Amino acid sequence: MPVHSKMSISRRAAAIVAAGSGASALAGTAFVAPQLKAASTSSIHAQTLSAGVVSAPAESVSRLGVSALSVAGIAAAAAGASKARRCNTSKKTQQRMVTVAFQARGGDEDTRVCIPLEELRNTDVEKVGGKSASLGEMISQLSDVGVPVPEGFSTTAYAYKEFLDKGGINDFINEKLSDDSIYTDVNKLMEVGKAVRDKIMDTPFQANFEEELKAQWLRVSGGDEKFTFAVRSSATAEDLPDASFAGQQETYLNVMGYEDMKEKVHLVFASLFTDRAISYRHDRGFEHSKVQLCATCQKMVRSETGAAGVMFSLDTESGFDKVVFVTSAYGLGETVVGGTVNPDEWYVFKPTLAEGKNAIIARTMGSKLIKMVYKAGGGSETIDTSADERQKWSASDAEVTALAEMAVKIEKHYGRPMDIEWARDGDDGKLYIVQARPETVASQKKVGVIEEYKMLEKGSEVVAEGRAVGKRIGAGKVNLLTSIDQMAEFKEGEVLVADMTDPDWEPIMKKASAIITNRGGRTCHAAIIARELGIPAIVGCGDATDKVTKGQEVTVSCAEGDTGFIYNGSLKFEKKVQDLGELPPVGMKIMMNVGNPETAFTFGQLPNEGIGLARLEFVINNAIGVHPKALLNYDSLDADTKAKIDGRMQGYGTPKEFYTQKIVEGVATLAASVYPKRIIVRLSDFKSNEYKSLIGGDQYEPDEENPMIGFRGCGRYTDPFFEECFAMELDAIKKVRGEMGMKNVEIMIPFVRTLDMAKDVNEVLEKNGLKRGEDGIKVNMMAELPSNVFLAEEFLEYFDGFSIGSNDLTQLTLGLDRDSGLVAQYFDERNPAVMKGLEILIKAAKSKGKYVGICGQGPSDHPDLAKWLMDQGIDSVSLNPDSVIPTWQFLGKKD
């Protein structure tokens, strides 16, 4: 049993970045024995983050049976309004405030039992815990720069220690927690946790504490019994940069009246010893007797009639730090935090946000099936959302942008990536930050080390799918649990499958080889804990509990993009850990072939000089899935086809807007991943049989004997049949470069058979506002045909450079069908005829002073070919991401 914390008290405090008053990631705090004198605040250099009110699942504490409650933020109130309500504050309290400044700054021991939030700073963690200290910091430092923070007050660590001491609770707790067997026996843990919580609830508060608690309630509420508070925990060691303590204590919302608030403060004190909190602290080496628990009491934000969510100042899956990841759902934020709803999601790009550009680069609409609202008489309840709510975004683009701006300000103030909760008040329509704390997983990844999981065999049966959490793979036997009461049945190495999990499940989550839930998004508690534990998780599957059976062998893959797949059977996979070290210099630029926006943020962190090939058809096929002609002719389609399209385009105004905007989001995400380095986007190059496989495609595409050399590429762009479809692609490119400010985007034209085609396509580009050379736009040609080789210099008159497509160049030079296994043995880019063509193309571009690179498969498969190309003077090779490091190292070897 790792009893003692791995950090000294002062070091731990210095690491703290406080977490507002929310409970999305509440600290695993512990009681403090009264005989332990708190460390002097002069030794603490903690930078804590203040914020407002958020949520945390509130499981029943002991026998009181309090149901899960949610977060709601609190509107920042002016100091004058606060003072106006002080008429009912006791004279004793007013006199005590004279010495507040000295004591709250770390002078003589502060014996107050409650302190107004506005009198606190981030150095007061040992007095009032991380969340309350953070709120004081935020109110003083960030309210004036557009980060609204609510008012309220906090109980103190002194009050908590006095309660445990005078109530005679310490010895009882010490005795109960000294039994090491509770950390391996779930049933014993539940028994001990209940006994401790019962003891705390049976012990009344001391008289001076109750007097001051009521005085502070009167000050903030003005004595209004209908004034609503949020009451949540604030601990003296919580929300550390390397431990989230996600949801370990309780939060209570819509608390009305003094008696209700007093009861909820009592419940918060008891929640220090929930089973999950005891287990979490033990597993992370935090001594139970070294942390004090306080209660933060704040005015509620009316998000039950608005919306709320979570945002991170980086991408939680890859650690990519140039984006803000925003989630949102209707009602109180606990549905998002607790994972009971699949929220809407957005990514906002920080560099262009700072330039005032449209910086939302991606969005995904969640199902938002439920929302949490106030219950009459106090508390909260969950109800179904309406069909209209489900089909609309729960936050506007303007609100998402404003939230991202707040996230950037908070991150800048605290100098590290942050996990932030927010709420929109349904009454005044304003946005409020209700919690902020350090992001504890992605930001802690070791720099220079790449961990990669890869499926070695593809499953023939996908049992279910959902949102991938992390990038790992796990396998094992399914243990399907319907209740936390079944925890004792769970065995090490099993795959945990449940409708949803909350922090109470933590004692068994750490034993799982993988986690699967029906509900939840990538910012819910299950996702946060799974990341911290390093366990693959797939959330928001919808029907996983109906698709798998207990004892079934499954493989859980989170390594294939944003979508996680549950495969039937135990499949082979591999894990590679690569320490990059210092890569040697090479004689050309190494770029990447990346077409999947879902993997872009991960690959963008590899050493690279940009993206040399981004295939637009990947975006069209996966994000859109509909033939562009079908969208343009939507009104004339049959009902079945319309229904299929409607299911895909929810949240987008028109079919044309849907097509264009999805391309915008795909290209913008890819461009952001390597910004400001160049990205060369190859415009669509579907063959007719591939276009036919899209929804509605069979109505528009011909049957060709050999689509590989048929109606494709540049030939489509200049044909009247496809002109309007191609114009939508170009509109998307214009928006990314113009409105979104991503000037690093270049375009590439594929399969240019003749010089007339080259001339015609440039005219089409100019007609659609993308004239080569204007506003810095570069137009490259994919050199992949024998005609491109024979007339290389002539083709360069129409383009800014070549990107050599070695796949088609090889098949057409050697007369091979690269899709035919019968002649596959002859396909080799190193054939002398192919290499002669490569040499001609490189020399032609060099003689014209124009760019030449290669983006085909050859250099990825054959490092010797890459070296030969480098010796020929090629400007760049664009490789598959998994070939970047080994090829780089090969090329850097000294002979």
pLDDT in tens, 255-294: 999 999 999 999 999 988 888 788 877 777 767 666 788 9
Distance CA 686, CA 707 (A): 9
Q: Does 439 score more than 90 pLDDT?
A: no
Q: How confident is the model at residue 248 (pLDDT cuts 50, 70, 90)?
A: low
DSSP code, position 518: S
Q: What is the pLDDT of residue 452?
A: 84
At residue 706, what are phi and psi to the nearest 5 degrees? -140, 80
What's the confidence (pLDDT) of residue 377?
A: 79
Least confident of 61-65, 610-614, 783-787: 61-65
Residues in the chain: 895
Mean pLDDT along residues 98-117: 63
Task: Give dist(CA 601, CA 316) in Å, integer.
Answer: 10
Give the count of beta carbons closer than 10 Å to the beta carbon of residue 837: 25
pLDDT in tens, 722-751: 999 999 999 999 999 999 999 999 999 999
Backbone angles phi, psi at 382, to 5 degrees: -105, 135
Q: Which pTM value belongs to this model?
A: 0.78
More confident residue, 437 or 43: 437
Catalytic residue list? 525, 855
Cβ-based neighbours of 661, under 8 Å, separated by 6 or more? 652, 732
pLDDT of 374 higher than 60 = yes
Write out the two tokens for 368: 């938002």
3-state secondary structure of 209: helix
Q: Which pLDDT score is estimated for 242? A: 44
Q: What is the pLDDT of residues 793-841, one digit of tens each?
A: 999 999 999 999 999 999 999 998 877 778 878 889 999 999 999 999 9
Mean pLDDT of 563-572: 94
- pLDDT, tens digit (0-9, with 9 covering 90-100), for 778-794: 999 999 999 999 999 99
Helix/strand/coil for 195? helix
Band of residue 245 on the pLDDT scale cut at 50, 70, 90: very low
Report yes or no: 249 and 268 within 8 Å, Cβ to Cβ. Answer: yes
Give the confidence band of 447 by pLDDT, cuts at 50, 70, 90.
low
> Residue 237: its pLDDT value, please?
66
Give burial (CB, 10 Å; 0-12/13-18/19+) of 671.
buried
Which residues neighbour 380 within 8 Å (Cβ) at sequence distance 6 or greater?
Answer: 69, 70, 253, 254, 304, 332, 334, 372, 373, 374
The tokens describing 747, both together, are 């375009």
Does the bond joining 2 to the residue before it have cis omega, within 30 degrees of 0? no
Least confident of 361-370, 384-393, 550-559, 810-819: 810-819
Counting other chains too, the contacts that 222-226 makes at CB distance below 8 Å and 24 or more residues apart are: 222/84, 222/85, 222/88, 223/88, 225/256, 225/257, 225/258, 226/256, 226/257
Residue 379 has pLDDT above 90, yes or no: no
The pairing of beta strand 293-299 with beta strand 307-312:
unpaired
From the CB of residue 572, how many other CB atoms can be counted at a distance below 10 Å?
11
As a whole-number percent, the residues of the chain with pLDDT over 90 amount to 60
Rounded mean pLDDT, 501-511? 79
In the predicted structure, residue 622 carries a pLDDT above the cut 80: yes
Instruction: Decide if pLDDT at 683 tops 50.
Output: yes
User: Residue 292: phi, psi to the nearest 5?
Assistant: -110, 150
The candidate with the shortest Cα–Cα distance to 561, out of 752, 787, 318, 255, is: 318
Check whether 106 has a pLDDT greater than 50.
Answer: no
**Average confidence score pLDDT of the chain:** 84
Q: How confident is the model at residue 577 (pLDDT cuts 50, 70, 90)?
A: confident
Q: How far apart are CA 318 and CA 393, in angstroms?
A: 25
Strand order in the sheet with 307-312: 360-364, 344-349, 323-330, 307-312, 418-424, 431-438
User: How does residue 392 score in pLDDT terms, banded at 50, 70 and 90?
Assistant: very high
Answer whether 685's CB lies under 8 Å from 748's CB: no
